[in-house]
Structure 1
Amino acid sequence: MFEDALRFPFAGDDSARSLLIGGVLVLLSPFVLPLLPLFGYYLRVVKAGIDGDETPPVFEEWVELSVDGLKAVVVSFVYFLLPLAFTVIGALVVGAGAILAQERAVTGVATGIGIVGALFALASFVTILLATYVFPAALANMARSGDIADAFELSTVLGVAFSVEYLVAGLLGIAAVILIGIVNTVVTVFTLGLFLLLAVFVQFYAQAVFFYLFGRGYANARGLQPE
């Protein structure tokens, strides 16, 4: 599965075109709007992983692709809303504690607030890890049906997320991203930074591998056979 995922973005006659467009969208992603077709493409990569496709999807039907991307953005916002809330509240609490710490009369209160802030920081860290792990399972459940409501079908999503098959896929996905990142760094150093110009394309390739593996993990966890 790991080797198949690494080869996946290069398969098919349109792979070079898809890698080129994907890299450009990654480059333009700070402008926000390019994120929609980019996320829509990643959603199709997940679907390809579920179906066991040997060739990657292509960039076409841009309106539909952007709508799918918008769905993915909405799902990510909902899943990361709780970690975001913990992070913001924790930052506000720590800030208030720092201000009160300057007043000797309320040093004890400031200490208590600092402890509360630390607890919020811990909650933020744990929920970010959890959301990051579960989010691809939610995307996969939505990608399979095309219905955004299925991303919040928690019985199925959590059942997949806490399966051995999905865990293995997740670990392979993380390993792939790290491996690709190391290779990119080494090549960049030895080419005196020239390879840095291709970093956005390497990032797109790594994300395609990552989401394909999660798609395969979802399919394996649910016992789905390649179409």
Structure 2
Amino acid sequence: DEDLLRTLIIGTLLVIGSILIIPAFILIGYFVQTIHNASKGEIPPRFENYLQLFIDGLKPVAVFLVYMIVLGTIMLITVMAGAINETLGTVFFLVLSVPAYFGLIYIYLAILHHLGQNKDVMDAFRIKEILKTAFNFRYLKAFILVVILIPLLFGVLQFALAITVIGIILIPATLLYEFIVYSKIIGAI
């Protein structure tokens, strides 16, 4: 298919160029658009309207920064509690910091799912809906696939490709394809 080949070529060039920062935001925007399309049952988009892809790429980064500020504040409170009393610091660490850290890791795919559905940043902060999405069996399966199984499989594939000279050239294309697979799974949650 001509669209698939075009998408792979452009995406591969963006993966290679992502060290220049701006192409990375375009790729992230493509990721958001692919989640959006997957949530609507549509095929992955074409690389078009690069300005919109760039803007869409800024959204998850901004959302991530806000959540990291909240997590950082929780960690700071834990450190201050530890400075007051070691036992209090330990309690804060176990009751506040550890659940917040691992909780954020667990719900981040749900955050991306809600952000991608309508490409609205505010949807990424609808905590009640995010938690409802995150605490069901379908989400748990998607989380295991996206965080453990698929990275393992693609890692083996990319390692096998890296052994050959020609394979090294294909690694950026496999990264793009991996990106699309993640997007489709997250969009379908």
Verify same fold: TM over 0.5. yes
Rate the CA distance shift 1:181–1:125 in 2: closer, same or farther, 3 A. Answer: farther
Q: Distance in 1 between matches of 2:78 and 2:9?
A: 41
Q: Distance in 2 between matches of 1:13 and 1:194?
A: 22
What is the deviation of 1:89? 9.3
What is the deviation of 1:132? 3.0
Partner of 1:182: 156
Q: Distance in 2 between matches of 1:29 and 1:123?
A: 36
What is the deviation of 1:137? 1.5
Using the TM superposition, name which of 18-27 and 121-130 deviates more.
121-130
Give the 5 Å matches for 1:65-104: 65-84=53-72
Partner of 1:163: 136
Whether the 8 Å CA contact 1:82–1:127 is kept in 2: the answer is no
Q: How many residues align?
A: 187
Q: Distance in 1 between matches of 2:177 and 2:37?
A: 15
Q: Kindly indicate whether residue 181 of structure 2 is the aligned counterpart of residue 209 of structure 1.
A: yes
The alignment's C-alpha RMSD in Å is 3.3
Name the TM-score, length of structure 2 as normaliser: 0.80
Q: Distance in 2 between matches of 1:129 and 1:122?
A: 12
Q: Distance in 1 between matches of 2:157 and 2:95?
A: 33
Give the 5 Å matches for 1:35-46: 35-46=24-35
What is the deviation of 1:183? 1.6
What are the superposed Cα offsets for residues 160-180 of structure 1, whole Å, 9 maximum, x if unpaired? 011111111122223122111
What is the deviation of 1:212? 1.0
Gaps of 5+ in 2: 80-84
Larger radius of gyration: 1
What is the deviation of 1:80? 2.9
Whether the 8 Å CA contact 2:109–2:143 is kept in 1: the answer is no
Name the TM-score, length of structure 1 as normaliser: 0.68
Of Structure 1 and Structure 2, the greater helix share is in 2
Question: How much identity, in percent, do the aligned residues show?
Answer: 27
Q: Distance in 2 between matches of 1:125 and 1:57?
A: 38
Q: Kindly indicate whether residue 32 of structure 2 is the aligned counterpart of residue 26 of structure 1.
A: no
Give the 5 Å matches for 1:143-162: 143-162=116-135
What are the superposed Cα offsets for residues 12-69 of structure 1, whole Å, 9 maximum, x if unpaired? 541121122222222222322222211110001111221122x311111111111111
Using the TM superposition, name which of 62-71 and 169-178 deviates more.
169-178
Partner of 1:64: 52
